[in-house]
Amino acid sequence: MVGRETAARLRQRGVETVKTLSEIPPALLEAWMGKNGIAIWNKANGIDETPVIPYHEKKSIGTENTFSSDTIDLRFLHKELVRMTEKLGLSCGSRISWPVA
């Protein structure tokens, strides 16, 4: 994409499409537009040396714990659930402190 003024300058020279722009010799574009002409030619020809920086957004988070034996101790399970919830909150950058009953 080029700015309004650059687009107007290109239109004055008969350049209306990226295809036309890509077919102009780079030296000619440089003569018309200065060093920006080379950058425009590169873009029109799909040339971009910018490094690719992958971005991955976390969609979910989780935590787990395997106990050494099965339990029905509700106090223990509640404390473990609170601990795990706090761990998740910290991994999200949260500073919430959950009360332990």
pLDDT, tens digit, for every residue of 40-68? 999 999 999 989 888 877 778 888 889 89
Q: Are residues 9 and 36 in the same domain?
A: yes
* pTM tops 0.85: no
pLDDT band at 95 (very low <50, low <70, confident <90, very high): low
Counting the structural domains of the chain, the total is: 2
Q: Are residues 100 and 61 in the same domain?
A: yes
Q: Is residue 50, in this structure, part of any structural domain at all?
A: no
Domain hosting 39: range is 4-44
Report whether 41 contacts 29 (CB < 8 A): yes
Q: Is residue 31, in this structure, part of any structural domain at all?
A: yes
Average of per-residue pLDDT values in the chain: 87
Contacts of 41 (CB under 8 A, 6+ apart): 21, 22, 24, 26, 29, 30
pLDDT band at 73 (very low <50, low <70, confident <90, very high): very high
Q: Are residues 22 and 61 in the same domain?
A: no
